[in-house]
Amino acid sequence: MTNISNLQKVLKEGKFAVTAECGPPRGANTAVVNKKAGLIKGFVDAVNVTDNQTAIVRMSSIAACSHLIQAGCEPIMQMVVRDRNRIALQSDILGAWSLGIKNILCLSGDHQTFGSQPDALNVFDIDSMHLIRTVKNMRDEGKDMSGFNLDEPPRMFIGAAANPFADPFEYRVIRLAKKIDAGADFIQTQCIYNMDRFKKWIRLADDEGLTDKVHILAGVTPLKSAGMAKYMKNKVAGMDVPDSVIKRMESVPKEKASEEGIKICLETIAELREIKGVHGIHLMAIEWEEKVAEIVKNAGLMPRS
């Protein structure tokens, strides 16, 4: 298959994958995207491009992905079902493939009440599970949701998200299994600070044989400050930041906090690499892309192919 994505290749070869995240600008400035591309190029296998993250209007994921390709990076187009109905979603998938976008991450999306325009009408015509299956059917059957035969199918590598820290915990593994059945090839998780809970989740997934069916990339986010840790604990939906992590961030002087955050991140990565079923990391350095290279290097994850 010539069309196979780089990420797909790395995972297929059984290598430990590294993906990062890139939030497009709140404006039409390509230079921002190119700058981020420059910072991570060569240090990751693919980069997620968020889709109006936290329900704030930004340059479209599809356009930013296209700029990244031109800058020599492989993008993973994130797509949320919050803003577009099934017609628009399918049309964007076809458009994305035509632009050379080979990876997609299917998400439901943060509720619009968190964003800059809480007065917006949301769509949620289909859910993330439906989106996964739609891309799979487009790819494997060459059909859109109406059953129409597509002229050229989008042969995308399909990703989905999992949050081991959301409730109800017991159902999380069932939901993961459903996403795999629906067509997910890889999974990226929410950022991990509560390692015990993550391990419990992946053990359950492993017991169900799920880690053999899907590639799991464990999410990590370096903390910049104790304030950021507290904010994530209290304000970000579905995040689990244990008090021990907050205490550790508070225990160092302010100017050393970001260093400590990176240390924690590196320790987390080292621990994740030892866990059966973890096939890579997903590094979400939120607006801190300049640290990606350092983290990947110091984690001993270089060279990337």
Partner 1 sequence: MIVGEQKPIAEIMEIIEPYKKILILGCGTCVKTCFAGGEDEVAVLASTIRLVCKKDGKEIKKITEQTVERQCENEFIQEASQNISQNEAVLSLACGAGVQAIAKRFPKAPVLPGINTTFIGIQEKHGIFTEECQGCGDCKLGRFGAICPITRCSKKLLNGPCGGSQKGKCEVNANTDCAWQLIIDRLTDLGQLNNLIDYIPPKNWQSSISGGPRTLIREDHIV
Q: Binding segment for partner 1 among 17-25, 40-48, 65-73, 106-114 (CB under 8 A)? A: 106-114
| Cβ 201 to partner 1 shortest distance, Å | 12
Element (H, E) at 42: none
Torsion (CA) 19, 278, 16, 75 in degrees, nearest 10? -20
In this structure, are residues 282 and 189 in contact, taking their beta carbons and an 8 Å threshold?
Answer: yes
Question: Counting contacts by CB under 8 A, is residue 69 touching partner 1?
Answer: no
* Residues in contact with partner 1, shown as a per-residue x/- string from 275 to 294 under the rule CB under 8 A: --------------------
**Closest Cα to residue 106, out of 78, 136, 64, 145?**
78
- Indicate whether 243 belongs to the interface with partner 1 (CB under 8 A): no
Q: In whole angstroms, how close is the CB of 108 to partner 1 at the nearest point?
A: 5
Tell me how far apart the alpha carbons of residues 83 and 159 are, in angstroms, rounded to a whole number: 19
82 forms part of the interface with partner 1 (CB under 8 A): yes
**Would you say how long the chain is, in residues?**
305
Which of 66, 103, 163, 211 is the binder for partner 1 (CB under 8 A)? 163
Q: How many of the chain's residues bind partner 1 (CB under 8 A)?
A: 35
Stretch that binds partner 1, among 22-30, 43-51, 108-116, 279-287 (CB under 8 A): 108-116
Instruction: Build a one-symbol-per-residue string for 171-210: x at contacts with partner 1 by CB under 8 A, - elsewhere.
Output: x--xx-xx--xx-------x--------------------
Minimum CB distance to partner 1 smaller for 73 or for 246: 246
| Cβ atoms 138, 77 nearer than 8 A | no
- Taking the CB of residue 179, how many other CB atoms lie within 10 A of it? 23
Question: Which residues between 246 and 275 bind partner 1 (CB under 8 A)?
Answer: none
- Whether omega before 168 lies within 30 degrees of 0, making that bond cis, reads yes
Residues 212-241 interacting with partner 1 (rule: CB under 8 A): 237-238
Q: Which amino acid is at 283?
A: L
Residue of 13, 119, 167, 274 that binds partner 1 (CB under 8 A): 167
Residue number, 100 or 115, with CB nearest to partner 1: 115
- Closer to partner 1 by CB, 39 or 81: give it: 81
DSSP line for 134-190:
HHHIIIII-B-TT-PBPSS---PEEEEEE-TTSS-HHHHHHHHHHHHHHT-SEEEEE
Report which of 228, 234, 268 is spatially closest to residue 249, judged by C-alpha positions: 228
DSSP 95-150: HHHHTT--EEEEE----GGGSS-TTSPP--SS-HHHHHHHHHIIIII-B-TT-PBP
**Contact between 140 and partner 1 per CB under 8 A:** no
Asked if residues 166 and 238 have their Cβ atoms less than 8 Å apart, the reply is yes
Of 127 and 267, the one with the shorter C-beta distance to partner 1 is 127
Q: Which of 122, 209, 212, 270 binds partner 1 (CB under 8 A)?
A: 122
Q: Which H/E stretch holds residue 46?
A: strand 46-49
Interface residue list for partner 1 (CB under 8 A): 82, 86, 108-111, 113, 122, 124-130, 133, 145, 161-163, 165-168, 170-171, 174-175, 177-178, 181-182, 190, 237-238
